[in-house]
Amino acid sequence: MGKGVLIIAEKPDAAQRIAEALDDRGKPKKSMRRGIPYFLASRKGESLIVVPALGHLYTVCQAKGGRDDYPIFEIDWAPRYLAERGASQTKLWIETISELSKEADTFISACDFDIEGSLIGYNILKYACGEKDKEAKRMRFSTLTERELVKAYENASPQLDFPLIEAGRARHEVDFIYGVNLTRALTSAVAKESGRYFTISTGRVQGPTLHFVVEREKEILSFVPTPYWKIDAMVKVSGRSLEALYEKDRIETFGEAQEVVEKCGGKIGLIKDVRTRRIAQAPPTPFNIGDLQAEAYRLFGFTPLRTLGIAEALYLSALISYPRTSSQKLPATIDSRGILEALAQMPDYKALAQQLLSKERILPHEGEKEDSAHPAIYPTGKAPDRELNPSEKKLYDLIVKRFMATFAEESLRESLRVEIENSGYKFFLQGSRILEEGWLRFYRPYVKGEEKILPPLKVGQEVLFIKVEALEKFTEPPPRFNPSSLLRLMEDWQIGTKATRAEIIDTLYKRNYVRDERMAATELGFDVDEVLGKFSPAIISVDMTRELESRMDAIEKGLETREKVLAEAIDRIKPVLEELKARERELGEQLSLIVRKVLQQQRSVGACPVCGTGTLFILRSRRTGKRFVGCSNFFKGLCKASFPLPQRGTIKPTGDACQGCGWPTLGVKALGRRPWILCLNPSCPKKAGGEDR
């Protein structure tokens, strides 16, 4: 008999579900080695070892040279604990997997079936298991349900999915070469000029994405509003007051608007036409990850990254299918009827599911987008085996309701449009009512079937205009992006991937390039984009990024080789880095000014309440090394105001005034106690009252 089967899962939760599904009794033994969990199962006399990874255990790194060297084109793959700070725990995982691999003679990758999952499994099998990538099998599944996991195991592919692996390797390698070289070029220029180490990052996707936000902000700041007028009219008919719409949505001159008011106000209008039409609205398409992120932001305010994290938690709990998909299709193989039957066992969905099950045929209304690896996102029908947190409950309910709505009938609405003539001008009444709810019934409360019922009206009927006013309006600038609309724009321009776009947006916030939910470029974001555009426009070029994305997609389809795409990517970035190197001093001067301004803003607490003309800054004493707040006028001999600070923890200006006295405040985070707000005023009435702020 052979030694056994080693199955590599992507995460601990997934490993446990795989082991439980494959074990003959459904009760695998959980073991620990060096604190790393793994599971021992038995299936038809075969010994199974199911061991999880912790996401990526290996990463791209430079083959030689120091941390500040650039350009770097010689790269290698190495354990994360050797390449990254803060990744020391991955050493134990790799050592444990390596030891367990010696107890097996059959190897299977059961990581998520996408580019990242395929790459995670490949690297572990290649490096930790001693070149077992050449003989390993591949389990492919879209849910962590027992039925699908057993099927994936029994029908495992005889080899790994190498086109996906090669595409994953290429993407990581290209992103490393672009990201590390460009970030080092900018950071090094600052260090050499100012002596300060301040990370200024950019990358193949980050640069163009920031440019989108900056360009939109420029549009907004340069926008000049122009006035126009809108007619606000009310009529009285059959004892009801109704809003009437003027034939022109906007009027360019006040004179024309005033003429309408003078001629129509208080007059009798005559109904000239009454038209009804029926509008059928098709059910929504199933969720892919982009659609889910957009809908969760619209309904719950969840950022794309948060939605992805919640969806992954639901997937690992076997409640939904794999979320990182671009598909809007639900193939027959998922057994939609079986899922609806399972949902019918849950009190919250019983009535709706039974309505769908009464249909002779259950067919989804699908979208156009496809994904070769996974179907659209759908609930598995499995009841939760743990208490979902409020955010998980919201997203799970949304996914279930969307799934059911795709199988429902179209909704039918009747629209009514009434034309009224008053003194030669046209006005309209608009009404609507729902004739058949169709899919709306299944997607509530996430869709509103609003009705506006008009009283009976007929041609020739008189209508009294009880109000006609001219309202002055102004044209508005284009709206700022929010995380959801920016992600959609990245999708439209085909930059980044369904797995990375949300992380790129999150990075813009972390680098302080953007702020607020309605994304405004910060001064730092503006300045970095301007410098990049001046010294190397290619860095913020959407076209270059899109072309590279297209080439890497071709690797996945087997139409390109990783080596060729990587070589061409290096050829593209070389002249960019040469230009930055040649102008390093000029680049450093401009970036140093930016950094100096940023650091000053980070230390600025607010106006000095003592002298009224200075600015308070967080300073550090050269003699004692202690932190304190002092006034900028001290150096001019005009103010001696200073205030002590806690010497432990992080301190940041809040930008807000104390509600008790109006003095500037600071946010303090110290280990071992909750964050608090510190008012600088020693005589603050809130302090005197013993209030803990």
Q: Spell out the SS3 assignment of 579-591.
A: HHHHCHHHHHHHH
- Measured at the CA of 689, the angle between CA 688 and CA 693, to 5 degrees, comes to 95
Alpha carbons 187 and 185: distance in angstroms, whole number: 6
Question: What are the start-end ranges of the E strands in 238-362?
Answer: 240-246, 268-281
CB contact burial 140-173 (16+ within 10 A = b; e otherwise): bbbbbbbebbebbbeebeeebbebbbbbbbbbbb
Alpha carbons 187 and 178: distance in angstroms, whole number: 14
- Measured at the CA of 657, the angle between CA 655 and CA 660, to 5 degrees, comes to 155
Alpha carbons 167 and 550: distance in angstroms, whole number: 11
Active-site residue numbers?
A: 322
Q: Which of 210, 201, 302, 205 is nearest to 517 (CA)?
A: 302
CB contact burial 232-246 (16+ within 10 A = b; e otherwise): ebebebeeeebebbb
DSSP 388: P
User: For 370-522, where are the alpha helices, taking DSSP H only?
Assistant: 390-405, 440-443, 483-493, 501-510
Sign of CA pseudo-dihedral 553, 558, 563, 567: negative
Environment class of 493 (CB within 10 Å of its CB; exposed 0-12, middle 13-18, buried 19+): middle
Longest Cα–Cα distance in the chain: 98
Q: Is the peptide bond before 71 cis (omega within 30 degrees of 0)?
A: yes
Q: Which of 429, 422, 426, 425 is nearest to 458 (CA)?
A: 429
**Helices 390-405 and 350-357, packing angle to 10 deg:** 20
Question: What are the start-end ranges of the E strands in 247-394?
Answer: 268-281
Which tokens go with 204? Answer: 């193949």
Alpha carbons 155 and 169: distance in angstroms, whole number: 26
Residue type, 608: C
Alpha carbons 322 and 376: distance in angstroms, whole number: 8
* Residue 486 contacts residue 492 (beta carbons within 8 Å): no
